[in-house]
Chain A
């Protein structure tokens, strides 16, 4: 009996018969099965279990669910390969496939007796939803047993781990200059562009405004939240906390006023 292969078709291939037949040509003599990636992903079709010795990916993104479905459809030691983008790798890894070179292999179940599987929660649920059935399981092959701990073991020099070429793989934060003459939203801690001063000035201005409130007896009586039925400021939010106050609210920075409380700003004090 000839070896089986599942060709997983990227939808864009359907409109390119030439490319499609090129792929099919690769598997001449195989027992060829074809499925659309989208249909697997939407769980519109269910793949046979433990059937395929090969899975060929013609491109496109493989989700965790798809990877899990493919895993189930593969025989032990079956291979998955083809045009696999980097974004799909985590899904394949989570499904339990093992990457060797450019090929992903399904570990044989003889070896997986002690596989780390079903790290899923055993939550009792009153009703099962559809997703429940296709949980991504973390099933993996066992690795070579770890070196037994040895307390006399020599340690590597950890400083040697930080070397220049690491920066190729590590994402560094953006530089202070946002470019294109754009203004930053917030100042850096060691700001040198003047934005920090601007922010500090804003805070100073608000402090000044607050002093004006503290000093102006007229204003205090004008906005009197203790009078029943009287609206709490034009917007109705002054008496609430800062989370609800408008941008220019003169009461910014003050704790909320409780309805019916006599407004004595000094009594709000520094402490609780």
Chain B
């Protein structure tokens, strides 16, 4: 059997791991393979029982890392080579997005066209719905039932990706293969009394590498590799009495993260740079960790949590409890060999580039982030891993980042009348557009913030680049969608000849904005097809 996942943020990967764990337990004699969708060959898809788990990007595409295989599968000349294969499909999406769960539907249709048989119906899971927490559990039970597999085995399995500790020690700091960039500016740009810390952060090349930045287009992103707070790493090391082992070298078998491991890969560096301590525990966490409990009561509690999803929801999801917090509540003696069964790997976080600068010899790029920080009834504050990391970076700190190209082709904006819509930090890619492109027609920016003096990020600066129509919602200024509807009534432009680019948080805003533009009588669906109505929301 082959479990395939296509994951943007790691959720689909986590579910795939969970599925593999279940299958390995229940069918010890059948080989269960786990592959990233984009790394599967067409031959892998022949004569196979395939379980595919896929998320959808904001504009209804398969995740970036799935594209190599997907492009192969879209070839017109393919014969129904999957006719001896059967598949199960699970989609992750959110009805907050217009192209809800498009990716898995495309896969489903394509697989069927290529001859594969859907064993049971595709399942579309809606992250926006309350039930979604149970969806995968229910679906994986259906899969097992359909395969006539009964699962009762709770014994400890050998680690999927064994971690081996070797004798050598190394006290050097961690490095990735690529060159880091250095922080040269890290400023709060929201007012000190604003509820949210919004920061402008600029990274500079360590050594001039010529034209690396020349290829950056508006819409491009950087993926930043964050690391854990050293205090949390220390807490884990102490709780497991690993202080004396922390600088020993470890080897990991069977998996390499996208950007490679840091070197030297010591236990401390592995935990600091690769194990996601701040996300909620993996689904398989309790199944695996119960075997490490040194206290039978704790083991029993773990076992309950591993099977009762309501229990887990109340204990974990509702209060956003992190895996490190859970871990410190139990008396555990973790086997280092199993470390990767307990934790998710840290995935780089993507941010839109908001500015590019050059001082002749070296170049730098800017991002604009809102620090994620909130509370539930837990005593500790909830913090976004990456924004917390970025917030605390001093000047000259090295940061590992890579540039991700956008597919939106926003350079087209230069030759047409454009309407840009931004709320909050959604201004980031639009700022890059406005500062980098030479527009033939002055663009119009609808910009929604709360106040004119607290979070009106770059607003004053951009007023010289575009016609800015602002909406200060907490000052009685209304919302962007209201401004759009009013403005468009007297606009001389035929919207379908223009480009609309909407940027901000997903959910109500993009929907309301779309309605406002649609009220002009323009056919937004057609514009979307022509890629002249573009949303970049998260």
Contacts and interface: CB of A to CB of B under 8 A. Distances in A.
A222 B271 CA distance: 40
B122 A90 contact: no
A252 interface: yes
Contacts of A159: 60, 529
B436 to A, nearest CB: 29
Given A162-B60, A272-B235, A241 B124 contact: no
A240 interface: yes
B153 to A, nearest CB: 12
B156 interface: no
A119 to B, nearest CB: 4
Contacts of B326: 241, 243
B363 interface: no
Interface string A155-173: 1101101110010011111
Contacts, number: 216
A90 B86 contact: yes
A147 B47 contact: no
B30 A120 contact: yes
A241 B380 contact: no
Nearest to B142: A171
B28 A255 contact: no
Contacts of A187: 130
Nearest to A172: B124
A146 B77 CA distance: 10
A68 B474 CA distance: 68
B146 A90 contact: yes
Interface stretch (B113-121, B250-258, B412-420, B454-462): B113-121
A18 interface: no
Question: Which of A155, A186, A199, A244 has the most B CB atoms < 10 Å from its CB?
Answer: A186
Q: Is the interface of A mostly helix, strand, loop or mixed?
A: loop
Given A207-B377, A272-B229, A171 B48 contact: no
A270 B126 contact: no
Nearest to B127: A189
Interface residues of B, number: 87
Contact of A210 (B47, B105, B377): B377
Given A90-B119, A120-B30, A141 B380 contact: no
B320 to A, nearest CB: 11
Contact of B377 (A115, A184, A203): A203
Contact of A169 (B81, B108, B125, B231): B108
Contacts of A154: 75-77
Contacts of B74: 155-156, 158
Interface stretch (A25-33, A50-58, A73-81, A129-137): A129-137
A186 B46 contact: no
Given A150-B77, A272-B234, A135 B128 contact: no
Contact of B110 (A87, A161, A186): A161
Interface of A: 63-65, 87, 89-91, 93-94, 98-99, 115-116, 119-121, 123, 131-132, 135-136, 138, 140-144, 146-147, 149-150, 153-156, 158-159, 161-163, 166, 169-174, 176, 184-191, 199, 203, 206-207, 210, 240-244, 252-256, 265, 268-272
Interface of B: 1, 28-31, 42-43, 46-49, 60, 70-72, 74-81, 83-84, 86, 94-96, 102, 105-106, 108-110, 115, 117-119, 121-133, 135, 146-149, 229, 231-232, 234-235, 297, 301, 305, 310, 313, 315, 318-319, 321, 324-326, 328-330, 375-381, 507-508, 529
Given A138-B48, A146-B43, A272-B232, 10 more contacts: A64-B147, A90-B147, A94-B86, A121-B28, A162-B60, A189-B128, A241-B326, A253-B377, A255-B328, A265-B379
